[in-house]
Amino acid sequence: MCWSARADAVAGGLVAAAGVACLVRAHRAGRPERLPLAALPLVLGAHQLIEALVWLGTDGGLPDGLAGAARTAWAVIALPLLPVFVPAAVWCAADGPRRRVLAALALLGAAVAAPLAVTVGYRPVTATAHGRTLGYAVGVPYPALLLTGYLLATLGSLLLSGDRLLRHLGLLTGVGAAVCALLWHLAFISTWCALAALVSLLLLPWAGRRPMSETARATGRNR
């Protein structure tokens, strides 16, 4: 999350544009299996654009119905969607024996997402401004257990993907999430914008990169 509706809107637009670029690169490289993960920046960009509406709702700039819909949409992406989407997208892009481990993490993500989806569906989502950050409340049951499963499914799939860039993405996202949580607790400017932009930048070269085997064949033909 960013520190204002305008900042969220600008950052969300830029991150979403990077997501479109990732999809184009993956398509041009003939890598359809990478398209789901290449779309992650687009999802993150939409998430920030939605939060711009949440900010407007906390300031009284939106009707109550639209503000409530924005809060619910934000929670749907943050809670049940990402723990399913990320490990499933990494599984699609992977090959070899690692796919079994990644499939297990995708199942874990689905198990975590189920109670989160029920919670978002049946409980109201509230958002309160704390200094320059937003605090959300949904009333998630067993938060420590679900958070552990959430992190294992999302960060674990990146770290165990077998791809160097994706491992770096997992490490940086984990560190960034810890920093975001600390800065939110202290009511400082959130680093979510920078984290989402970093994710987009890392996926841009990854989306269009050819496998090592193809690169070696191309190098051999050019000799």
At 64 the three-state DSSP class reads: helix
Q: Considering only 99-103, 176-180, 200-204, which range has the smallest mean pLDDT?
A: 176-180
| Whole-angstrom distance, CA of residue 51 vs CA of residue 41 | 15
Q: What is the mean pLDDT of the chain?
A: 86
Nearest to 120 by CA among 54, 171, 76, 186: 76
Is 216 a residue whose pLDDT tops 90?
no
pLDDT digits (tens, 9 = 90+) for 110-138: 999 999 999 999 999 998 887 777 788 88
- 3-class SS shares of the chain: helix, strand, coil, % to 5: 75, 5, 20
Q: In this predicted structure, what is the pLDDT of residue 190? A: 47
Indicate the DSSP class of residue 132.
Answer: T
Q: In terms of residue numbers, what domain contains 210?
A: 5-222
| Whole-angstrom distance, CA of residue 150 vs CA of residue 12 | 23
Is 184 a residue whose pLDDT tops 90?
no
Number of domains in the chain: 1
Residue at 164: amino acid letter: R
Residue at 153: amino acid letter: A
pLDDT digits (tens, 9 = 90+) for 9-41: 988 999 999 999 999 999 999 999 999 999 999
Total-model pTM: 0.88
Specify whether the CB–CB gap between 5 and 57 falls below 8 A: no
